[in-house]
Structure 1
């Protein structure tokens, strides 16, 4: 390796008519480990992803635990622990809250709890409003697990309220001496 056969930056290359040594990749080449996502960052792409994409991972305890861990690391600071849009950053008052997963309305229309896997995945990938894209921080498998966990938060927030206690029952006497 005393003499490297590679060209240095901006070195003249006699093999090409333009003499440039820095070449563009061949048209149609795909970077290693690149996963193709054929849905543009637009409302049409969002709707198409919502219609076409389904979570490929089985909903089980292991995947949900991983989804919760990822949600805690990447989402909870804005969306809050329960997904109600009350995260630590929102509590500062400097940012408007994101909609609640269980009772909020999406800025693209529809209830948040009714969002499909594909719509959530698309939003994590490209972001929306103040939420930036997370495609560079969270790989596709992790995005699907976060999507799975977001659905669980939406379900948890819409659970029926506990039955009201019978108001006709006599209140417990708290003044009775305990012996």
Structure 2
């Protein structure tokens, strides 16, 4: 019995006796984008599985071609009803992403046009342009001519808010809300 008590008294209770996960006690640093031993070579930067959709993302089924633009122009309508339209928010998004080129009023006189960094941005009410909600949404999603895509900057609901705001600017500039054939 004395032997058992002597062994128990020699135990240091300030340190754990076992380390279940030694890597947690002694961390190992890794360089960003470096090869590591514990992952196979083909595990890094894989594309998502074919046919999958990211959470919160709704796929856009119209192609980014001229035919897709024409289809969107003719058939695509906003899924937002009048209670979901938030004009001040659409205006804020327009000011952030669009006004630098298209101008605060949609007249094609944004700061980049005034400084001649880009040229040829038409006003929303130009006679040769028959803007529809579908054509605006398609252009925001895929881009057109010099304008790039804003699909990564704006989610679907925000794009439709901007579309509504652009249609308001078009009406204020004297452009008709009706579609030309």
Corresponding residue for residue 68 of structure 2: 45
Picking from 139, 144, 160, the partner of 1:128 is 144
Q: How does 1:65-84 map to 2 (within 5 A)?
A: 65-84=88-107
Question: What 5-or-longer segments of structure 1 have no aligned partner?
Answer: 106-110, 160-179
Give the C-alpha shift of residue 91 in structure 1: 0.5
The Cα offsets for residues 55-74 of structure 1, whole Å up to 9 and x where unpaired, read as: 12234696111111111111
Corresponding residue for residue 172 of structure 2: 156
Q: Does 1:64 align with 2:87?
A: yes
Corresponding residue for residue 176 of structure 1: none
Query: C-alpha separation between the residues in 2 aligned to 1:54 and 1:62?
Result: 13
Query: C-alpha separation between the residues in 2 aligned to 1:84 and 1:138?
Result: 22
TM-score (norm 2): 0.69
Preserved CA contact (<8 Å) 2:72 2:135: yes
Question: How many aligned positions are there?
Answer: 146
Query: C-alpha separation between the residues in 1 aligned to 2:55 and 2:66?
Result: 29
Computing the radius of gyration from Cα coordinates, the structure with the larger value is 2
Query: C-alpha separation between the residues in 2 aligned to 1:88 and 1:98?
Result: 11
Question: What 5-or-longer segments of structure 2 have no aligned partner?
Answer: 1-20, 25-33, 176-181
Q: Does 1:32 align with 2:43?
A: no
The Cα offsets for residues 57-106 of structure 1, whole Å up to 9 and x where unpaired, read as: 2346961111111111111111011101000111012310311101253x
Provide closer, same or farther for how the CA distance between residues 89 and 10 of structure 1 changes in structure 2, counting only shifts above 3 A: same
Question: Which has a greater percent of helix?
Answer: 2
